Structure formats: C-alpha cells, structure tokens
Amino acid sequence: MALFLLFAASVLLAATAHHVPGQEDFLSIDCGLDAAFSGRMDTYTDIPYESDDPYVDGGENHEISTDQQESGLEADLLTLRSFPTGTRNCYALPAQSGAKYLLRMQFLHGHYDGNKSSSPVQFDLYLGTNYWDTVQNGSYWWSEAVFAAWASWVPVCLLNTGRGTPFVNTLELRQLEDSLYPDVTADLSMSTFERINLGANTTTRYPDDPYDRFWWRRASSSWAYLSTQSPIVQLEHDSFDVPVSVLQTAVTAVGNGTMLNILTWEGYKASLMFKVFLHFADFQKSQLRQFDVYFNDQRLDNYSPTYLTASSVQSSGWSKSPDGMYNVTLAANNVSVLPPMMSAYEIYSLIPHHTQRTFSKDFDTMMSIKHEYGVIKNWMGDPCFPVQYAWSGVKCSNTTDNITRIISLDLSNSNLHGVISDNFTLLTELRFLDLSGNSMNGPIPDSLCKKNANTFIFRYDSDKDMCNGTTSSSLSKKKTTIISIAVVVPMVIVVALVLSCLIWGRKRKPKISTHDPPRVPEPRSAPASIKQNGDHLHNTENRRFTYKELENITSKFKQSIGQGGFGLVYYGRLEDDTEVAVKMRSESSSHGLDEFLAEVNSLTKVHHRNLVSLVGYCWEKTHLALIYEYMARGSLCDQLRGKIGVNETLSWGTRVRIVIESAQGLDYLHKGCSLPIIHRDVKTNNILLDQNLRAKIADFGLCKTYLNDMQTHISTNAAGSAGYMDPEYYHTGWLTESSDVYSFGVVLLEVATGEPPMLPGHGHITQRVKQKIATGKINMVADPNLGGAYDINSMWKFVDTAMACTEDAAIRRPTMAIVVMQLKESLVLEESREDIRVWGSFTSTKGDPLSTFGPSAR
Ligand SMILES: *[C@@H]1O[C@H](CO)[C@@H](O)[C@H](O)[C@H]1NC(C)=O
Ligand SMILES: *[C@@H]1O[C@H](CO)[C@@H](O)[C@H](O)[C@H]1NC(C)=O
Ligand SMILES: *[C@@H]1O[C@H](CO)[C@@H](O)[C@H](O)[C@H]1NC(C)=O
Ligand SMILES: *[C@@H]1O[C@H](CO)[C@@H](O)[C@H](O)[C@H]1NC(C)=O
Ligand SMILES: *[C@@H]1O[C@H](CO)[C@@H](O)[C@H](O)[C@H]1NC(C)=O
Ligand SMILES: *[C@@H]1O[C@H](CO)[C@@H](O)[C@H](O)[C@H]1NC(C)=O
Ligand SMILES: *[C@@H]1O[C@H](CO)[C@@H](O)[C@H](O)[C@H]1NC(C)=O
Ligand SMILES: *[C@@H]1O[C@H](CO)[C@@H](O)[C@H](O)[C@H]1NC(C)=O
Ligand SMILES: *[C@@H]1O[C@H](CO)[C@@H](O)[C@H](O)[C@H]1NC(C)=O
Ligand SMILES: *[C@@H]1O[C@H](CO)[C@@H](O)[C@H](O)[C@H]1NC(C)=O
C-alpha cells in the first residue's frame, strides 16, 4: 500500500510540475529600480526583477533610507516609486486576456523622503475600476489579488486619498492554472487576507510554490507543531495546489486537548465579505482522527483528513461577520482517538466588481496605439472609467449597459510620428478620429478609407489625395483633409444627435437613416402593427390612433388610472389584448401642445429599458393623447404611501433595485445622447412599476434638450413639482442635469424614510433627514414600515448618496452615473445581508465523500 502511494505520488507530481507555468512566465517588477540594473536576479529565488519604467508613466524613483536597510531585507524592497503628483497613477501590466493571475504589491516606506517623523501614509489600490485594498501601514504592507484578466493589460492604480504620497516597492504578477481557485471568474476577483503555512518556521514561496504564492508562518503557544518527510499526494486538477512542503507541516492541539482553535481575527473592514479555505493532509495514520469543523455559524461534521493526500474544505459563499470576528474551530468528535490537525489555510475577501469598464478589445487597441506612438498624455487605467479619469481625447459611448465602446478619439497636435496604423481601424465603433497637427506620413490605410463617410469623420493633414477618389482635388491643397465633407460642415450636431440617439438607443432597429434628424412625427395614416410583447413595443413605429379607436380601446374612457401632467390617464386594451395606458390632454390643462410635442419628441428619440415606452399617439383636432405601455403596479409613490390596492411594504432590497433602475433611466437621458436631455420633473409619481416591479421613468412633458454646448440653459418659466425643485435652479434659472439629480435625491430620501417631501409644519425632507442623521442613528431615518429589515451599512450608503444628490450647490452633486454606482454598492451590502440569512452550510472541494454539510444546529 505504501509503495503504491509513493509511486502514485511521484507520477502525479511529475505530471503537475510539467504543466505548471514556470518562472519564465513571471513578471517581477522592482519599482524604482534604475533601468540599467533591470534584470537583476533575486538572491533567494533566482527570479529576475525588472525596472518599472516601461509599465508606468509618472512618479519618482527613491531608495529607502540607509538606516532602514537592515541586512536580510529583500532587495526588491530597497527601491520604490512614489507618486507626488496626480490623484491617480496607474501601472499597466501585460497579461493574457481571460487567464487567471495572482498579483502582489509590496510597500515599505523606509523614510525614503528623509522625514523620520512623517505620519503613516494611507492610500487606495484599484484593480482596473474595482476597489481592491487600502494600504494602511507605512512600515510594511502587502496586497494581493487573484483575478481573471479581462483584457491584454491589467491596470493597477494607486489613488491618493489625501493621507500622504502613494508609493510602491514591488509588483509581482504570476499566472495561475485555470483550474485553480474556481471561485475566481471574469466577474469575481478576490483579495488575499491571509495565507498561512501552519507549523512552519519560515515563509514559503517560489520555488516551493510554483506560483510564488507567499505562505506566511504563524505561531501560537496553544498549538503543537507536527512535521513529516513523507511525500504527500496532490490529486490532479487540485483547486489549490498547496505546495507539498506546506502540507508536510501542521499544527494540532497541545496536551490531550480535543479542540484546535485555529484563529479568531477581526476583519479590518467590517463591510468586506470573506471566504476561508482550509487545507489538510494527515501524516500520522496510527489511529482514527475525525473532527467537526466550525466557521462562525457554519459547520461540517465528522471530517477526516486523508492520509498523505491533500484535501481542502471551504466555507460556502462569501460571508460577513457582524462583529468582525471570525472563528475556525476544529473539535474532535467522540469516536476520534487523535486530536484535530490542520496544515494551512487561506482567507480571501471579495473584490466587488463594477460592471462599468471599457470593452476589452477597445482597451487593448488603445494600449497598442499608446505604445505604437509613444503617446504622452494622461493615459492610465481604464480608458473610460471612472469618468473623472477618462483618458484625454477619448470619448466613450454613454450606454448604461456593460459594453462601453470608444466612439471618438482626438489625437490632434499630439506630436505623433510615423505612418497611420491599422490599429485605429480596430476601434470598430469609432465615429470621429482627429490626427491633424501631427507629423505623420504615409497613406491612409484602406480600412479607414472604406469607412462609411456618413458615420465616420476623419481629420488628417495631407498635401495630396490620400484615399483615391474620396477627397476632392479642390481640398487637396488645404492643410487639413476632411473625409466625409458632406457631413462635417452643417450637420455635425444633427449627426451627433442622430448617431447617439438612434444608433445606440435603438441598436436593434435595422432601418435607420442617418440623414433623418429626429423630429416630431407628422400625422401619418398607416398604422404600423404592434407587437404583443410590451418589451418590443419600442421597436415598432409609433402608431397613430384615431379618437374613435381610443374610445374602443378604453371602452369609452371607463377606467381612469391616474392623473398625469396634462390630464387623466385611462386603462385600455389594444385589439391584441396588449394593455396600455392612455394619457388624454384635458381641455383645461395648462400644459399645452408644447409639452405634448416635447414628450413625443423625447420618447421617439430615446429608448431604454428604464424609460417608459410609447406605443402611439392621437392628434385629431383638439384631441391630443399619448398611448404608453401599461405599468401594472402603478407609481413608486403609490407603493410607498400604501395606496388602495397596495397591501405589502416594499422590502429594502426591492426599493434599492427600483431606484437603481430609475437612476439608470435618468443616467441614460443625461448621457445616452450626445446632447443631454433633462427630465425636469423627477418624482415618485413619475417612476412607474410594471408587474415585476421593474421601474421606468415616465412623464417627459417638461423635458428639455440642450441644443448645443454653448447654449445657456436659462429657462424663464420655472417648471417641476413642489418639494423636488433644485434650489439652485429656483434662484438662478440655470437648468442642468444636476437639477434632476437633486429631484432624484428627494426621491431617494422618500424611499428611505417612507415620508413625502413636504410635511406641513416639519419642513422639507432634506432638513428632516439631516436632523435625524445628526443623532448618528440610521434607524431614526429609515422607514418604520421596514421593521428594521435592512442592512445598516446599505441604508447609510443609500442615505449618504441621497444627501449628496440634494446638496444645495449643484456643483457638489454627483452625476447620475456615480449615483448608480453608489446605489449598486448599497444593494450589494443589502444582498449580502439577505444571503447571510439563507446561508449557513459548508462545502468541501474535493477528496472526501463525507463532505456534504448541513447548516449548524445552533
Ligand atoms: C515630516 O512629517 C511631518 C508629519 O507628516 C510634518 O509635519 C513635517 O513637516 C515633516 N518634516 C519635514 C522636514 O518634511
Ligand atoms: C505595521 O507594520 C509593522 C511592521 O510590520 C507592525 O509591527 C505593525 O503592527 C503594523 N501596524 C498595523 C496597524 O498594522
Ligand atoms: C524549525 O526550526 C527548528 C530549529 O530552529 C528546527 O529544528 C525544525 O526542524 C524547524 N522546523 C521546520 C518545519 O522546518
Ligand atoms: C494525556 O493523557 C494521558 C492519559 O490520560 C496521560 O497519561 C498524559 O499525561 C496526558 N498528557 C498530557 C500532556 O496531559
Ligand atoms: C469559536 O467557535 C467554537 C465552536 O463553535 C466555540 O466553542 C468557541 O467558543 C468560539 N470562540 C470564540 C472566541 O468565539
Ligand atoms: C457520539 O456522539 C453521537 C452524537 O453526538 C452519539 O449519537 C453517540 O452515541 C456518541 N457515541 C459514543 C460512543 O459516545
Ligand atoms: C498595433 O500596435 C502595435 C504596437 O503597440 C504593433 O505592434 C502592431 O503591429 C499594431 N497593429 C496593427 C494592426 O497595426
Ligand atoms: C458622457 O457624455 C458626457 C457629455 O454628454 C461626457 O461629458 C462624459 O464624459 C461621457 N461619459 C463617458 C463615460 O464617456
Ligand atoms: C454584459 O453582461 C451580461 C449579463 O450580465 C453578460 O452576459 C455579458 O457577457 C456582459 N458583457 C461584457 C462585455 O462584459
Ligand atoms: C488606391 O489606389 C491604389 C492604386 O491604384 C490601389 O492599390 C488601392 O487599393 C486604392 N485604394 C482605395 C482605397 O481605393
């Protein structure tokens, strides 16, 4: 038996070693190292370390102060790069798109600035657009992430948060086998909290660990140390590939103890969600060893580590401890003769992902262009996000879905040399490219010449015809050649509008004419057919109804379902049983033709799943009506105020989801078209809910579009609803997107508190909430109808967001895009609370048939 195992072990180990990426795949960067010393070997690992020059644009090189250079200090920590200028500085590390990586950064301040009394520096790390870690200790800090590369470059950003100059000493990127850490996917990354080799004297890394993971030692007097020289078998496709040398040491209970309390620790950020992996291999098979594994409220009964074989156990799901305490305990059961033992463990925290990032191929292409021309601009991190750090000269499609494309690239006067690269054509959604004012030569690539002149504008200096037959000879003497002349001169604005609204808004609609500016539909006779599915309504032409038809649809206006901005709204059913809402303009309405036209105009231009869609309209003599998709659950206002027919309180999670969708609708209005559309009447009555509580913004009667950037957005007649009106707009008459943000902030406060904006005698909701926040108790703010069923951090995040939106000064309010992101964070917090409620079981990753686990009895 022993012989067989030995044999199996050596074969398997050889097989594993064969396909493990070796150190030649490592990218090891010694930050601040002079380029002349690039390639120096690490004395312990023999891994070559390079200078960081090629991977970063800014920063200064420094050396830690000599009195900090203790002997034995690893050489890669001696130098560092600091970033005294710019709020955000990023490295771009080459990667293989889709592959899994371990990325480690190390920080050792070492008084490099010569100031021995400087206070500890603190700054944030981002992996792409996702928050990763906060570097908190100037003495020594390491941060590690495991993630899948979403593009051929990994942007790693250091964000100055106002507590000292960010710096970094070492960056190490290690590719992992795809089978490792199955939790990690394109949508999930994790940050290492601890990786401990129990029973070891020293930290283990490469070459013992082929992936160069650090396995730190950890000592405790309540543990007895065990070790073996026997080989330990790794099953093939092991999800963790714990190094054999790590498994050859372990700890067990001291004396005759039956309990091994491996750790209790405090999550240094209570909001983080954790997962724990425990690694075992028994090497004392004299008698039975069996124990129960506890992790906070999770429990796994009767676990027996396998003899001389690696096995692992992991907590199920990502969990947050309410008190920041985590407790892994192994307790021998009554049949076990030997005490529990454990070899190693890993703890990771979840890196929450923002969906917003640039389409990966566009990102890769931009990096190629940056490198090909040595572009010296502030091109760092993700090209489009976060919006405040978007690359200069780059414009991105403002769609709210997760595929953000680069649509405009202005590289004029950027001191570029060389030929025009084919790389530009790889930006397939590009509508505008300006290469004028550079010293470029050579022909324009065919692929650019062939782009549709109606949808692509290209500026470039040339003395001769560059695209055969495309450029007229009269233009050829001018310095700047503009292809697609027909479009450029009078129609830039129209084209921009049409492109942004029609192409992106209605991608699925095939028959778009880019020569047709959007306008109010003329009365037309032939009604187009209406599809049955409400979601497809917007794909059909808007139908024109006769007054007679409206009477039929609504059974002679039998059932009124509400009061809209310009009249009563009636329930109706089309011939094919599609339910609709018919909004009639009443004779007495103060809102007239202008509002009617504004609404038709907006609704025909913008289409988004969170904006109510128009089925058709009626315009017959004095009869004006708009026909919409029917929203079965009425308005958010009805739901919050418990109108008749509404008998359940919306849960906190549902409320947050509803406002996220509404926020996305508004964000689309503001950003989805090249010219922002301002709703001007955002309120809970205008957020409608369908059968599945999906939210859509309605009532565009007051909305306004900027005609151009120069226009001053002064509106003489104040519009909007009392309680929701932007105070700044009220005083100045300046109309901007932030007026909607203010109104939306009021909506958020209503959703959180369940109260209307104005309560006679108690002032405006912003004042009321401010007073309650001052008590420091969020339960004072929250809607009592929620009965306390909400995550406290989620509620705080939500209310903080609402308060930011309702800042008096418009300039201090966030954009809707930021609001969406913050509300999503609030939702994640709430969902983790919901998860914890239903969660409480362990899963084992491999090896053992015992490993089916039920919730703890407690
Ligand atoms: C050293 O740092 C401290 C605290 O950060 C600061 O007050 C002091 O001015 C610094 N001294 C020098 C010489 O820069
Ligand atoms: C900072 O690092 C030093 C050296 O590793 C350590 O002694 C100290 O406890 C750390 N402080 C914090 C707050 O982590
Ligand atoms: C730990 O160190 C001691 C002596 O310093 C040594 O005897 C022992 O073998 C070491 N243990 C391991 C697992 O290396
Ligand atoms: C463990 O138990 C045995 C038998 O009960 C006893 O002889 C021995 O002294 C105990 N060892 C320790 C360290 O308590
Ligand atoms: C840790 O968990 C074990 C088992 O549930 C329990 O007996 C022990 O008291 C816990 N320790 C702490 C510090 O909470
Ligand atoms: C061991 O414990 C289990 C459950 O706790 C119990 O059913 C069983 O009788 C016990 N066995 C012995 C030998 O005490
Ligand atoms: C794109 O740029 C890279 C340099 O970063 C260059 O190697 C490559 O050949 C270019 N690709 C095309 C299609 O021009
Ligand atoms: C969205 O469009 C606005 C102008 O309407 C622009 O300022 C902003 O940068 C755009 N956002 C992105 C991510 O491109
Ligand atoms: C966008 O999101 C959808 C659903 O979440 C997903 O299936 C798709 O792969 C995502 N696309 C990109 C480019 O991330
Ligand atoms: C321009 O003319 C050259 C030579 O006639 C030809 O090879 C090339 O394909 C032409 N390019 C375009 C865009 O028509």
CATH of the domain at 729: 1.10.510.10
Q: What is the pLDDT of residue 702?
A: 58
The end-to-end CA distance of the chain, in Å, is 41
Task: Answer yes or no: do 432 and 366 share one domain.
Answer: yes
Task: Answer yes or no: do 276 and 153 share one domain.
Answer: no
203 Cβ closer than 6 Å to some ligand 3 atom: no
Q: What is the pLDDT of residue 534?
A: 30
* Paired residues of 157 in beta bridges: 90, 126
Q: In the chain, what percentage of residues exceed pLDDT 90?
A: 41
What's the 824 CA to ligand 9 centre distance in angstroms? 16
Task: Answer yes or no: do 451 and 547 share one domain.
Answer: no
pTM equals: 0.60
What's the 257 CA to ligand 5 centre distance in angstroms? 15
Task: Answer yes or no: do 57 and 205 share one domain.
Answer: no
Nearest residue (by CA) to ligand 7, atom 4, is 372
Q: What is the pLDDT of residue 135?
A: 93
Q: What is the pLDDT of residue 487?
A: 28
In angstroms, how far is CA 266 from the centroid of its own chain? 27
In a domain, 531, yes or no: no
Q: What is the pLDDT of residue 264?
A: 59
268 Cβ closer than 6 Å to some ligand 2 atom: no
Task: Answer yes or no: do 688 and 824 share one domain.
Answer: yes
Q: Domain limits at 238?
A: 195-351
Q: What is the pLDDT of residue 249?
A: 96
Task: Answer yes or no: do 217 and 343 share one domain.
Answer: yes
CB 614 within 8 A of CB 627: yes
Cα(465)–Cα(348) distance, integer angstroms: 60
Cβ-based burial of 710 (10 A; exposed 0-12, middle 13-18, buried ≥19): exposed
Cα(285)–Cα(5) distance, integer angstroms: 14
Q: What is the pLDDT of residue 615?
A: 84
Please give the sequence-ordered ranges of beta strands (E in DSSP) within 108-210, or none if there are none: 122-127, 130-135, 141-148, 153-163, 167-168, 170-176, 189-198
Q: Which ligand is nearest to the CA of 360?
A: 9
Please give the angle made by the CA atoms of 106, 108 and 112, to the nearest 5 degrees: 135
Buried b (16+ CB within 10 A) or exposed e, 589-615: bebeeebbebbbbbbbbbbbbbbbbbb
- Reply yes or no on whether the pLDDT at 131 is more than 60: yes
Cβ-based burial of 17 (10 A; exposed 0-12, middle 13-18, buried ≥19): exposed
Atom of ligand 7 nearest to the CA of 421: 14
Q: What is the pLDDT of residue 541?
A: 54
Find the residues whose C-beta lies inside 6 A of ligand 5: 264, 294, 327, 329
Cα(178)–Cα(100) distance, integer angstroms: 6
Nearest residue (by CA) to ligand 9, atom 5, is 402
What's the 350 CA to ligand 3 centre distance in angstroms? 35
Nearest residue (by CA) to ligand 3, atom 3, is 201
Cα(383)–Cα(377) distance, integer angstroms: 12
Task: Answer yes or no: do 84 and 175 share one domain.
Answer: yes
- Reply yes or no on whether the pLDDT at 570 is more than 60: yes
Q: What is the pLDDT of residue 4?
A: 25
Q: What is the pLDDT of residue 571?
A: 92
* Rounded mean pLDDT, 603-612: 78
Q: C-alpha distances in angstroms, 426 versus 366, 368, 402, 503?
A: 9, 10, 19, 19
- Which is more confidently placed, 267 or 327? 327
- Which of 256, 258, 287, 338 to probe ligand 4 with, by most ligand atoms within 8 A of CB? 256
In a domain, 640, yes or no: no
In angstroms, how far is CA 375 from the centroid of its own chain? 27
In a domain, 634, yes or no: no
Cα(220)–Cα(242) distance, integer angstroms: 22
Q: What is the pLDDT of residue 527?
A: 30
In a domain, 8, yes or no: yes
- Reply yes or no on whether the pLDDT at 233 is more than 60: yes
- Which is more confidently placed, 204 or 117? 204
| Residues 674-723 pLDDT 10s | 667 788 889 998 899 998 899 999 877 555 554 333 333 434 344 567 78
Task: Answer yes or no: do 164 and 207 share one domain.
Answer: no
Last residue of a domain, one of 432, 452, 470: 470
Atom of ligand 5 nearest to the CA of 325: 14
The residues annotated as belonging to the active site are 681
Q: What is the pLDDT of residue 850?
A: 27
Cα(602)–Cα(668) distance, integer angstroms: 12
Q: What is the pLDDT of residue 98?
A: 94
| Residues 237-293 pLDDT 10s | 889 999 999 999 999 998 888 899 876 566 556 678 889 999 999 998 778 999 999
Q: What is the pLDDT of residue 712?
A: 36
Cα(128)–Cα(386) distance, integer angstroms: 9
Which CATH number do you get for residue 549? Answer: 3.30.200.20
In a domain, 333, yes or no: yes
* Rounded mean pLDDT, 149-171: 96
| Residues 30-64 pLDDT 10s | 999 998 888 888 888 889 999 999 999 999 999 99
Last residue of a domain, one of 130, 157, 188: 188
Task: Answer yes or no: do 409 and 426 share one domain.
Answer: yes
Q: Which ligand is nearest to the CA of 77?
A: 2
Which residue from 347, 337, 346 is spatially nearest to 252, judged by alpha carbons?
Answer: 337
CB 682 within 8 A of CB 510: no
What's the 117 CA to ligand 1 centre distance in angstroms? 6
Q: What is the pLDDT of residue 159?
A: 96
302 Cβ closer than 6 Å to some ligand 9 atom: no
What order of strands is seen across the sheet that includes strand 122-127?
88-94, 153-163, 122-127, 130-135
In a domain, 523, yes or no: no
Atom of ligand 9 nearest to the CA of 355: 14
Nearest residue (by CA) to ligand 4, atom 5, is 256
What's the 153 CA to ligand 3 centre distance in angstroms? 42
* Rounded mean pLDDT, 573-596: 75
| Residues 291-310 pLDDT 10s | 999 998 899 999 999 999 99
- Reply yes or no on whether the pLDDT at 623 is more than 50: yes
* Rounded mean pLDDT, 8-27: 51
In a domain, 527, yes or no: no
Last residue of a domain, one of 300, 331, 351: 351
Q: What is the pLDDT of residue 838?
A: 40
- Reply yes or no on whether the pLDDT at 812 is more than 70: yes
579's enclosing H/E stretch is: strand 579-584
- Reply yes or no on whether the pLDDT at 79 is more than 60: yes
Which CATH number do you get for residue 376? Answer: 3.80.10.10
Task: Answer yes or no: do 94 and 127 share one domain.
Answer: yes
Q: What is the pLDDT of residue 372?
A: 94
* Rounded mean pLDDT, 562-573: 79
* Rounded mean pLDDT, 352-378: 90
Task: Answer yes or no: do 728 and 814 share one domain.
Answer: yes
Task: Answer yes or no: do 368 and 347 share one domain.
Answer: no
pLDDT-derived band at 188 (thresholds 50, 70, 90) equals very high
How high does pLDDT run on average in the chain? 79
Q: What is the pLDDT of residue 138?
A: 65
The count of structural domains within the chain is 5
| Residues 403-427 pLDDT 10s | 889 988 999 889 999 999 999 999 9
For the chain, the C-alpha Rg in angstroms (whole number) is 32
Cis peptide, bond prior to residue 207, ω within 30 of zero = yes
pLDDT-derived band at 562 (thresholds 50, 70, 90) equals confident
φ and ψ at 552, to 5 degrees? -65, -45
CB neighbours of residue 57 within 10 Å: 17
Atom of ligand 8 nearest to the CA of 673: 5
